[in-house]
Amino acid sequence: MSLVPAKPRIGDKVFSGLSTGAGILIFVILAAVAMFLIAQAFPALVSSPETLQSQGYGPFLSWVAPFAFGTVYSAFWALVFAVPVSIGIALFISHYAPRRLAATLGYVIDLLAAVPSVVFGLWGANVFAPALQPLHQWLATYLGWFPLFTPPASGTGRSMLTTSLVLAVMILPIITSLCREVFLQTPKLHEEAALALGATRWEMVKMAVFPFARAGIVSAVMLGLGRALGETMAVAMVLSGAGVIKFDIIGQQNPNTIAATIALNFPEASGLRINQLIAGGLILFVITLAVNMLARWIVRRRAAFSGAN
C-alpha cells in the first residue's frame, strides 16, 4: 500500500516564501550598505596624502587610526566594567533571588535597555562626570605612577573612564538579559545531580550552569560589544575626545571614537571631507563585521562542549 504525499498547504508556501525572502533581504541590505560605503569612501581612500593635506585633512590612515583605536579602547573598558556585573546580576536573578524579586529585577533591567542614548549622554555629561571628577584627582594623586592614571587628571571628569562607565551601563541590560535566559535553560537534571552529589549552590553553578551557558555568554558579550562599538550620541556628549592615541583613562585628552567623530563633524563637512568621514564609517563597519564573525567562530567552537546542542 503506497502512501500518497500530502499536498502542501497554501499557508505553508506563503510562510516559506516570506521566510526565505526575509533571509535574502538581510543579505541584500548588508550588501547595499557595504557598496554605498565603499563607493562614497573611494575618493578619500585613493586620494594622495598631498591632496588631503592641501585641504587641511591629513592622510586618511593617520587620521582614522586614533579614532579606530578610541573606538576599540572605549568598548574594551566598557566590557571590563559591564561583563562581571552583568553575569552576577543574571546569576542572582536566575538562581539566587526569590521569585518575586527576580521578576522585579528582570523588569527593571529590561526597562533600562529602553532608555535612549541621548538620555545616557545627558546624565553622563551633566551628572556622572562631575561626580567622578574627585575620583580622577585621587587616582592621579595616589596612583599616578600607573600608566592608566597618568596625571594631570581631567578637570571636568569627561574622560575615557567616565565614557566607558556610561557605555557599561548602556550595554549592561543587553548582556544581563541574554545571560539570564541562557542560565535559565540549564537542564534541571544537571543542577539537581550536582546538588545531590553534595555540591554547594556556587559549586553547582560552576559545574553545571557555566559550562552549559559558555557559548551563550560569549554571544551576549559580543552583542554588547557591538553596541559599545557603534554608540554615537552618548560618547559624543560625554567624552572630551581628540585625534590622539593615549592609554591613560583619566587624562584631559582622550582618543575619540569613529562614530562620535562622524556625528560631530558631518553637519559642517563638504567635499572630500564627507568622503573621509564615510571612509571612517567603512572602517567601523569592518570592525563590527569582524567582531560578529569572531563571535560566531567562538560560539561554534564552544557549543559542542557546552551542552547547548
**Average model confidence (pLDDT) across the chain:** 86
Say what percent of the chain tops pLDDT 70. 93
- In this prediction the pTM is 0.88
CA–CA separation, 69 vs 31, rounded Å?
26
Running DSSP on this structure, what letter comes out for residue 143? S
| pLDDT, mean of residues 261-270 | 86
| pLDDT, mean of residues 280-288 | 91
- The count of C-alpha atoms lying within 13 angstroms of the C-alpha of 150, restricted to the half-sphere facing its C-beta, is 8
CATH 1.10.3720.10 fits 64-304, yes or no: yes
pLDDT of 309 over the 50 cut: no
Which pLDDT belongs to residue 304?
A: 56
Q: How many CB atoms lie within 10 A of CB 290?
A: 10
Model confidence pLDDT, tens digit, residues 15-53:
888 888 988 999 999 899 999 999 998 888 887 777 777
Q: Is the dihedral angle over the CA atoms 134, 135, 140, 142 positive or is it negative?
A: positive
Which residues touch 173 (CB under 8 Å, ≥6 apart)? Answer: 109, 110, 112, 113
Which pLDDT belongs to residue 162?
A: 94
CA–CA separation, 47 vs 249, rounded Å?
34
Model confidence pLDDT, tens digit, residues 167-218:
999 999 999 999 999 998 888 888 888 888 888 888 888 888 888 888 889 8
Which pLDDT belongs to residue 113?
A: 83
